[in-house]
């Protein structure tokens, strides 16, 4: 087990390197001149320009820029944003907010998705199953910004159950609505994955055997069906934490949350490469760690899988 | 199912197939089951009314995609600004949007870009993801490590951010790309970072299948690894992949809308549901004139519904374990 | 300065939200110490400053509106755009070229140090030093000893046109005469800095020390900046409240919601989603008055068929006549924009409403077709007329599409919007002159004068002349306006310059953005100034 973990940790090195290189390449291919953009529609003198290019390593070849970035990132130095603030500070402010939002969304989608999917699977074709199918369809078919605006309008402005926006007060109650909105699409995924797995497992040999042995239905469902149905769901959920944090761009915008999604999106618009690359690097690390945890959970859930 | 699997435990008594006369028949046996499986599946499908409903809907949508001119004589880009946001009226059953376009005509013509983006992205993602996931899960060891790590590199970069950065990089290397170029650029951007999702699902499914008896059985009777992969492993792990694919088809159509909402998806010259939903978002807040939102969003929902129902029906038919 | 998109964050941010603000105006409330009784803190919508809070570092609205309240310049502007002496006692010149600035006594920075001639000259030299790469350096370009981009030559140790006479007097020598030079000095690049700023500019930018109506109490990044009324301030903009807290919203929808519920007091913008309802929304107060920000479509004369000849002129006039400005401002903008009547804006003090040639702005589709066909006799147009714009959620997409729709319809040609995802990409192509299409342009004045709209954008070789327009007659009219001592003569020269522009149409004027916004109920004294900014110091509740 420990050897497995060590090996996996070693394997994360090429992933992090590869991802930063990939994002660096794409950012490098970005059209547009960030220095020109910095000056708005005013002209900029050659001397000033050269000064700024050197300051942000923009005068270096692509690979050198990447290596310089890696060198800094190793010691937690992500460079300086065009605003003069260290990028690591920007991230340190934004990351906890998005993390809180994503975790709340994850809990929401996992609990509601698994419970709803489990019962929909057990009662396939019944009213509840059909209702859930329709709900998941609406969630997937209507863009998140439309749902977000509508939920904000109804719950935040008309009913006033929760504040319509979050701002700097990221308390639990303020974040409920954004977390629900953020987790909606994944909720549909979890629901359907759970339902599908449950239906498969209901007819599996070991389940039939258990029933034949007179194990009560409730226990069979919980112990055999649910547990075995969790494998694809857990895979999905684990991978989803990173996706939620990244997918928060739109949600954070609607609810005025100063998270990492907003930070990244604005940085892309401004062509602020150090910030874009740094945010992505942080997300890559989050992803790598969560997917390792997922694979370990795999072993716990499915005794057939053992790691040497 | 191969006959051999109906006799669990028998594999213990069978010598390596290369050493027995079974080799010749073994080759036939291993290729036969999938054929039977698909034939069997079709039998089940034929009896499923959901399959027919979704198939007919999709056929209809396909006709709209290919021949929009059959359904409306109004040019979707003909603007009558003075009628901006007016409701339904004679000749314009869904009224007008903010730019004074005929909403009905936009819905008809918008099907093409949206469906093509969703369909093409899903096909590319599924083919790449299924193959890589199956190979990784089946061969395990260093193959698994290599494939999983490459998938990780792409998957670790968040889809939406990656698509935004990727699309504007594409602008640089591929400017002025016209209608199909514009559509393909969005497809490439989404597919390039979407496939690892399928890889993970497929790999998970294959890991599960690999341990089942019939696979051991067919391996025992000497089927080659690759043959085993294509004739047993992949067909039998299709179910979760198809479910993911049908759901993600909707997600990709919606992702296109989100990219348009952020100002980087399809250019405004391309009529698409995504662009129209994005344009309608300003109406959501005011709560007025919601027809400009509901028409494209409704068309999108119906399309996604059709694909999901079809996916469900096909999965039920393909997966004997889940069959009633 | 022009409408900038660089700060735009999410969709729905309208163009003008990103403009740099200059000073708040309104000197009509007399002297007296700032602050009332109790704790009257105004919560206003802000944007996270993108740069350190040093006047010359700031060129966007988020930092600009804060800097304007923290510092006082030589002059300040009333909300109507009239110039008033603030720190300066007098600014005088015999020849409009060499200006002598005399300072008032008694001005201090909030750290107690005195505001002297050196406070200004050192600050300007800091701003113009290319090594400091200041974003606001451009504004020094009229002064002797700077390049066209406003920085002084490398190796020099300052702007040679600046000369300190004594503690309260300095002289400014310009490259060319400019009668309106004093009017320009209220812009933030011309603000003074205390000694403390130069020791550690980085730390200073986080906690600036100014001489303006407010002091910075705290700046929580991405959350808010808290400004408190400066009791020692004795200038033209006496604070009527105890402080202003700028709350940073990236999304105007969120800010709008908070005004509705009373969490936020003032929002100088309205999200697209509320644009058709905000004037009738009884949960808040709405403002919607003519504003200074003009929108144009620039057609570079390097564009094929649009050269500096008869054909180009005909086509430009045809395009101008083919656009129904009134219909677009009412249907697309819900009357938050007003059709253009000239190249400047009606809120400028020297605006004229009857300039010869302005009828080229009238909608007349038949005449448009006719002019276009005449041009086709000279050389046939079979391409696509494209209008480039930055589509980074800046709200340009809708009107560009409407304009190209009208051109397609009324001229029977192929016309398409051409979006660019980022402002950087868009600006780069314009800056290196490789955009190859017509493009969205706009102008927000740096100081309240029609002259600024004309000279900075259309003067030969001017810094913001992105269409490379050049007409000696136009330049000559500008020179006459700049060197004239007589108000009427100056206005005539400016009108004549505009008439030339209406003939050549280097850019097609479209509309001016209204100064619109909302305030919570119970808020008083909200006034939009000539820069489309609320005059924060007059707000009470």
C382 versus A273: the higher-pLDDT residue is C382
Cβ-Cβ contacts under 8 Å, B258 against chain A: 143-145, 250
Q: What domain range is C87 assigned to?
A: 7-20+49-212
At C461, list the tokens.
Answer: 């070789």
- Whether the predicted pLDDT of B40 surpasses 90: no
Contact A165 C258 (CB under 8 A): yes
- Whether the predicted pLDDT of C378 surpasses 90: yes
Give the nearest partner residue to A23 out of B165, B254, B297, using CB atoms: B165
List, in order, residues 6 or more apart from A2 with CB less than 8 Å away: none
Contact A265 B281 (CB under 8 A): no
- Whether the predicted pLDDT of C242 surpasses 80: yes
From the CB of residue C168, how many other CB atoms can be counted at a distance below 10 Å? 18
At B62, list the tokens.
Answer: 């396909």
Average pLDDT, chain C: 87
Q: Is residue C416 less than 8 Å (CB to CB) from chain B?
A: yes
Q: What is the pLDDT of residue B14?
A: 35
DSSP per-residue letters across C224-246: EEEEEE-TT--SS---SSSEEEE
Asked whether residue C477 falls in the same domain as residue C334, the answer is yes
Q: How many domains does chain C have?
A: 2
pLDDT, average across residues C188-211: 93
Q: With contact defined as beta carbons under 8 Å apart, do B103 and B291 qualify?
A: yes
Contact B263 C273 (CB under 8 A): no
Q: Say if C345 falls within a structural domain.
A: yes
Q: What is the pLDDT of residue C167?
A: 94
Cβ-Cβ contacts under 8 Å, B263 against chain C: 11, 391-394, 397, 419, 421
Asked whether residue C202 falls in the same domain as residue C299, the answer is no
**Enclosing H/E stretch for C523:** none
C92 confidence band (pLDDT: 50, 70, 90):
very high
Give the nearest partner residue to C137 out of A48, A94, A266, using CB atoms: A48
Cβ-Cβ contacts under 8 Å, B211 against chain A: 304
Asked whether residue C14 falls in the same domain as residue C148, the answer is yes
Q: How far is C123 from chain A (nearest CA, A)?
A: 17
- Express the helix, strand and coil content of chain A in percent, nearest 5 each: 75, 0, 20
Q: Say if C57 falls within a structural domain.
A: yes
Q: With contact defined as beta carbons under 8 Å apart, do C42 and C268 qualify?
A: no
Residues C11-64: pLDDT tens digits?
Answer: 233 333 333 333 333 333 333 333 344 589 999 999 888 888 999 988 888 899
Q: Could you give the CA distance from residue C342 to residue C339 in angstroms, rounded to a whole number?
A: 9
Chain centroid to CA C190: how far? 15
Q: Is residue B178 less than 8 Å (CB to CB) from chain C?
A: no
Alpha-carbon torsion (C25, C27, C29, C30), positive or negative: positive
Nearest to C396 by CA among C3, C2, C85: C3
Asked whether residue C12 falls in the same domain as residue C160, the answer is yes
B290 confidence band (pLDDT: 50, 70, 90):
confident
Q: Hey, of C280, C421, C423, which one would you mutate to test binding to chain B, going by the most B CBs within 10 A of its CB?
A: C421
At C304, list the tokens.
Answer: 């094929």
Beta-bridge mates of residue C287: C517
Domain boundary among C197, C212, C227: C212
Angle of helix C310-322 relative to helix C487-504, nearest 10 degrees, comes to: 100
Q: With contact defined as beta carbons under 8 Å apart, do A60 and B198 qualify?
A: no
Q: Hey, of A153, A196, A263, which one would you mutate to test binding to chain B, going by the most B CBs within 10 A of its CB?
A: A196
pLDDT of chain A, 308 residues: tens digit per residue: 788 888 878 878 888 899 889 988 888 887 777 777 777 767 777 778 888 888 777 788 888 888 888 888 888 888 887 767 788 888 998 899 999 999 999 999 999 999 998 888 888 888 888 888 888 877 877 777 778 877 877 887 677 787 777 766 778 888 899 999 999 888 988 898 888 888 877 777 777 777 777 777 777 777 777 777 777 788 788 778 777 887 788 888 778 788 888 888 888 877 777 888 888 888 888 878 877 887 777 777 666 655 54
Q: With contact defined as beta carbons under 8 Å apart, do C262 and A274 qualify?
A: no
Q: With contact defined as beta carbons under 8 Å apart, do A237 and A103 qualify?
A: no
pLDDT, average across residues C119-145: 91
Residues B130-160: pLDDT tens digits?
Answer: 989 988 888 878 888 889 889 888 888 877 8
Asked whether residue C59 falls in the same domain as residue C202, the answer is yes
Contact C277 B282 (CB under 8 A): no
Q: What is the pLDDT of residue B220?
A: 65
- Whether the predicted pLDDT of C513 surpasses 80: yes
- Whether the predicted pLDDT of B107 surpasses 70: yes
Q: With contact defined as beta carbons under 8 Å apart, do C55 and C74 qualify?
A: no
Q: How far is A104 from chain B (nearest CA, A)?
A: 19
Q: How far is B252 from chain A (nearest CA, A)?
A: 10
From the CB of residue B324, how many other CB atoms can be counted at a distance below 10 Å? 8
pLDDT, average across residues B113-129: 91
Residue matched to tokens 């402010």: A93
Q: Could you give the CA distance from residue B259 to residue B248 in angstroms, rounded to a whole number?
A: 16
Q: Could you give the CA distance from residue B181 to residue C275 in angstroms, rounded to a whole number?
A: 35
Contact C405 B98 (CB under 8 A): no
CATH superfamily of B38-70+96-322: MetI-like (1.10.3720.10)
Cβ-Cβ contacts under 8 Å, C126 against chain A: none
CATH of residue C189's domain is 3.90.76.10
CA distances from C82 to B99, C2, C447 (A): 40, 20, 10
Residues B175-228: pLDDT tens digits?
Answer: 667 788 888 989 999 999 889 888 988 888 888 777 666 666 666 666 677 777
Q: What is the pLDDT of residue C296?
A: 95
B256 exposure class (CB count in 10 Å sphere: 0-12, 13-18, 19+): buried
Q: Is residue A58 less than 8 Å (CB to CB) from chain C?
A: no
Mean pLDDT is lowest, of A47-56, C181-190, C479-488, for: A47-56
pLDDT, average across residues C89-116: 94
Q: What is the pLDDT of residue B321?
A: 52
Q: What is the pLDDT of residue B104?
A: 94
Q: How far is C408 from chain B (nearest CA, A)?
A: 9
Which conformational region is residue A166 in: left (phi greater than 0), alpha (psi within -120 to 50 degrees), or beta?
A: alpha
| φ and ψ at residue C52, rounded to 5 degrees | -60, 150
Contact B168 C327 (CB under 8 A): no
DSSP summary character for residue C104 = P
Q: What is the pLDDT of residue B20?
A: 39
Domain boundary among C159, C191, C212: C212
| 3-state SS assignment for residue C529 | coil
| 3-state SS assignment for residue C509 | strand
Nearest to C175 by CA among C203, C198, C157, C152: C152
3 state SS for C266-277: EECCCCHHHCCC
Three-point CA angle A256, A257, A258, nearest 5°: 115
Residues B6-25: pLDDT tens digits?
Answer: 233 333 333 333 443 333 33
Buried b / exposed e along C6-42 (16+ C-beta atoms within 10 A): bbbbbbbbbbbbbbbbbbbbbbeeeeeebbeeeebbb
Nearest to B291 by CA among B71, B81, B98: B98
Alpha-carbon torsion (C415, C417, C418, C424), positive or negative: positive
Q: End-to-end alpha-carbon separation of chain A, Å?
A: 6
Asked whether residue C204 falls in the same domain as residue C298, the answer is no
Q: Is residue C420 less than 8 Å (CB to CB) from chain B?
A: yes
Alpha-carbon torsion (A58, A61, A66, A67), positive or negative: negative
Supply the pTM of this predicted model: 0.79
C274 confidence band (pLDDT: 50, 70, 90):
confident
Contact C422 A149 (CB under 8 A): no
List, in order, residues 6 or more apart from A214 with CB less than 8 Å away: none
Contact B156 A141 (CB under 8 A): no
Mean pLDDT is lowest, of C23-32, C50-59, C418-427, C486-495, for: C23-32
Q: Is residue A276 less than 8 Å (CB to CB) from chain C?
A: no
Q: What is the pLDDT of residue C38?
A: 59
User: In percent, how much of chain C has pLDDT > 70?
Assistant: 92
Which of A140-154, B68-82, C93-107 has the highest mean predicted lDDT (pLDDT)?
Answer: C93-107
Q: Is residue B263 less than 8 Å (CB to CB) from chain C?
A: yes
Residues C303-349: pLDDT tens digits?
Answer: 999 999 999 999 999 999 999 999 999 999 989 999 999 999 999 98
Chain centroid to CA B61: how far? 16
Q: With contact defined as beta carbons under 8 Å apart, do C505 and C360 qualify?
A: yes
Q: With contact defined as beta carbons under 8 Å apart, do C393 and B279 qualify?
A: no
Q: What is the pLDDT of residue B37?
A: 62
Pairing of strands C337-339, C438-443: unpaired
CATH of residue C426's domain is 3.10.105.10
Cβ-Cβ contacts under 8 Å, A30 against chain C: 422, 424-425
Cβ-Cβ contacts under 8 Å, A55 against chain C: 133
């Amino acid at each position: 087990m420990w050897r497995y973990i060590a090996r996996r940790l070693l394997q994360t090195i090429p992933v992090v390197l590869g991802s930063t290189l990939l994002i660096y390449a794409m950012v490098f291919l970005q059209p547009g001149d960030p220095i020109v953009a910095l000056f708005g529609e005013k002209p900029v003198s050659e001397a000033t320009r050269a000064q700024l290019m050197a300051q942000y390593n923009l005068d270096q070849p692509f690979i050198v820029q990447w290596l310089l970035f890696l060198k800094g990132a190793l010691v937690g130095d992500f460079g300086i944003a065009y605003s003069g603030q260290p990028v690591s500070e920007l991230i340190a402010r934004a990351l906890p907010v998005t993390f809180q939002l994503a975790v709340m969304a994850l809990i929401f989608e996992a609990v509601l998705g698994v419970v709803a999917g489990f019962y929909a699977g057990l009662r396939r074709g019944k009213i509840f199953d059909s209702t859930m199918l329709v709900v998941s369809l609406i969630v997937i078919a209507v863009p998140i910004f439309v749902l977000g605006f509508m939920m904000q309008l109804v719950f935040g402005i008309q009913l006033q159950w929760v504040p319509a926006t979050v701002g700097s007060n990221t308390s639990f109650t303020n974040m409920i609505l954004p977390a629900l909105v953020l987790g909606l699409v994944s909720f549909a995924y979890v629901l359907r994955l759970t339902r599908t797995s449950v239906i498969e497992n209901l007819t599996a040999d070991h389940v039939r055997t258990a029933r034949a042995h007179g194990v009560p239905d409730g226990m069979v469902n919980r112990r055999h069906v649910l547990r075995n149905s969790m494998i694809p769901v857990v895979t999905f959920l684990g991978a989803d934490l990173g996706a939620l944090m990244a997918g928060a761009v739109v949600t954070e915008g609607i609810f005025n949350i100063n998270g990492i999604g907003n930070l990244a999106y604005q940085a892309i618009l401004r062509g602020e490469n150090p910030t874009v690359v740094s945010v992505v690097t942080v997300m890559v690390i989050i992803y790598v760690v969560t997917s390792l945890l997922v694979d370990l959970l795999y072993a716990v859930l499915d005794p057939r899988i053992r790691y040497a | 199912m191969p006959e051999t699997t109906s006799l669990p435990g028998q594999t213990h008594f069978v010598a390596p197939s290369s050493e027995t006369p079974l080799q010749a028949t073994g080759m036939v046996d291993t290729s036969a089951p999938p054929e039977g499986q698909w034939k069997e599946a079709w039998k089940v499908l034929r009896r499923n009314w959901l399959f027919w409903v979704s198939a007919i809907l999709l056929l209809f949508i396909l006709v709209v995609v290919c021949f929009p001119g059959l359904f409306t004589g109004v040019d979707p880009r003909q603007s009558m600004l003075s009628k901006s946001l007016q409701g339904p009226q004679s000749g314009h059953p869904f009224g007008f949007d903010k730019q004074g376009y005929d909403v009905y005509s936009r819905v008809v013509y918008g099907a093409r870009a949206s469906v093509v983006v969703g369909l093409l992205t899903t096909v590319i993602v599924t083919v790449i993801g299924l193959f890589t996931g199956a190979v990784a899960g089946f061969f395990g060891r260093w193959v698994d490590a290599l494939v999983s790590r490459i998938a990780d590199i792409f998957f670790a970069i968040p889809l939406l951010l990656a698509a935004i950065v990727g699309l504007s990089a594409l602008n640089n290397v591929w400017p002025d790309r016209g209608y199909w170029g514009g559509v393909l650029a969005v497809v490439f951007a989404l597919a390039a970072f979407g496939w690892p999702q399928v890889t993970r699902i497929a790999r998970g499914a294959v890991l599960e299948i690999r341990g089942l008896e019939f696979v051991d059985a067919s391996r025992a009777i000497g089927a080659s690894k690759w043959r085993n992969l294509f004739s047993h492993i992949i067909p039998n792990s299709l179910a979760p992949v198809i479910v993911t694919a049908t759901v993600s088809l909707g997600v990709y159509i919606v992702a296109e809308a989100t990219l348009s909402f952020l100002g980087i998806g399809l250019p405004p010259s391309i009529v698409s549901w995504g662009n129209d939903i994005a344009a309608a978002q300003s109406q959501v807040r005011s709560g007025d004139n919601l027809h400009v939102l509901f028409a494209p969003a409704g068309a999108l929902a119906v399309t996604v519904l059709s694909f999901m129902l079809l996916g469900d029906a096909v999965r039920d038919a393909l997966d004997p374990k889940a069959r009633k | 300065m022009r409408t900038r998109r660089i700060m735009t964050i999410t969709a729905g941010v309208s163009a003008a939200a990103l403009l740099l603000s200059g000073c708040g105006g309104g000197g009509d409330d007399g002297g007296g110490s700032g602050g009332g009784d109790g704790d009257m803190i105004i919560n206003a919508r802000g944007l996270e400053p993108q740069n350190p809070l040093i006047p010359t570092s700031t060129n966007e609205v988020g930092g600009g509106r804060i800097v304007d309240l923290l510092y006082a310049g030589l002059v300040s502007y009333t909300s109507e755009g009239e110039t008033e002496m603030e720190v300066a006692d007098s600014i005088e010149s015999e020849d409009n070229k060499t200006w002598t600035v005399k300072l008032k006594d008694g001005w201090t920075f909030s750290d107690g140090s005195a505001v002297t001639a050196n406070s200004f000259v050192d600050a300007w030299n800091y701003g113009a030093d290319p090594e400091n790469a200041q974003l606001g350096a451009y504004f020094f370009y009229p002064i002797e000893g700077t390049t066209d981009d406003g920085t002084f030559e490398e190796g020099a140790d300052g702007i040679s046109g600046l000369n300190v006479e004594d503690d309260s007097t300095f002289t400014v020598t310009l490259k060319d005469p400019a009668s309106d030079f004093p009017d320009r000095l209220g812009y933030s690049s011309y603000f003074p800095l205390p000694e403390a700023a130069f020791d550690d500019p980085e730390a200073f930018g986080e906690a600036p020390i100014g001489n303006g109506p407010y002091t910075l109490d705290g700046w929580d990044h991405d959350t808010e900046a808290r400004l408190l009324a400066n009791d020692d301030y004795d200038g033209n903009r006496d604070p009527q409240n105890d402080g202003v807290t700028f709350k940073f919203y990236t999304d105007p929808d969120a800010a709008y919601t908070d005004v509705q519920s009373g969490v936020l007091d003032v929002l100088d913008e309205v999200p697209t989603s509320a644009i058709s309802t905000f004037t009738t929304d009884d949960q808040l107060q709405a403002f919607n008055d003519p504003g200074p920000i003009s929108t144009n479509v620039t057609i570079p004369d390097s564009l094929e068929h649009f050269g500096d000849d008869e054909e180009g002129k005909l086509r430009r006039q045809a395009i101008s006549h083919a656009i129904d400005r009134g219909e677009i401002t009412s249907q697309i903008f819900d009357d938050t924009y007003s059709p253009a009547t000239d190249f400047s804006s009606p809120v400028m003090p020297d605006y004229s409403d009857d300039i010869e040639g302005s009828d080229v702005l009238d909608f007349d589709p038949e005449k448009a077709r006719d002019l276009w066909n005449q041009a086709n006799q000279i050389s046939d147009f079979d391409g696509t007329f494209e209008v480039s714009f930055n589509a980074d959620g800046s709200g340009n997409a809708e009107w560009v599409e409407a304009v190209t729709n009208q051109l397609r319809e009324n001229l029977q040609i192929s016309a398409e919007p051409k979006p660019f995802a980022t402002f950087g990409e868009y600006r780069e192509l314009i800056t290196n002159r490789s955009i190859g299409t017509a493009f969205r342009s706009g102008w927000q004045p740096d100081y309240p004068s029609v002259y600024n709209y004309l000279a900075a954008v259309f003067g030969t070789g001017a810094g913001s002349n992105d269409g490379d327009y050049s007409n000696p007659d136009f330049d000559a009219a500008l020179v006459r306006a700049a060197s004239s001592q007589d108000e009427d003569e100056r206005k005539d020269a400016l009108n004549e310059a505009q008439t030339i522009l209406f003939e050549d149409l280097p850019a097609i004027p479209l509309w001016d953005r209204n100064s619109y916004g909302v305030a919570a109920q119970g808020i008083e004294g909200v006034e939009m100034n000539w820069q489309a900014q609320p005059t924060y110091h007059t707000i009470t509740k």
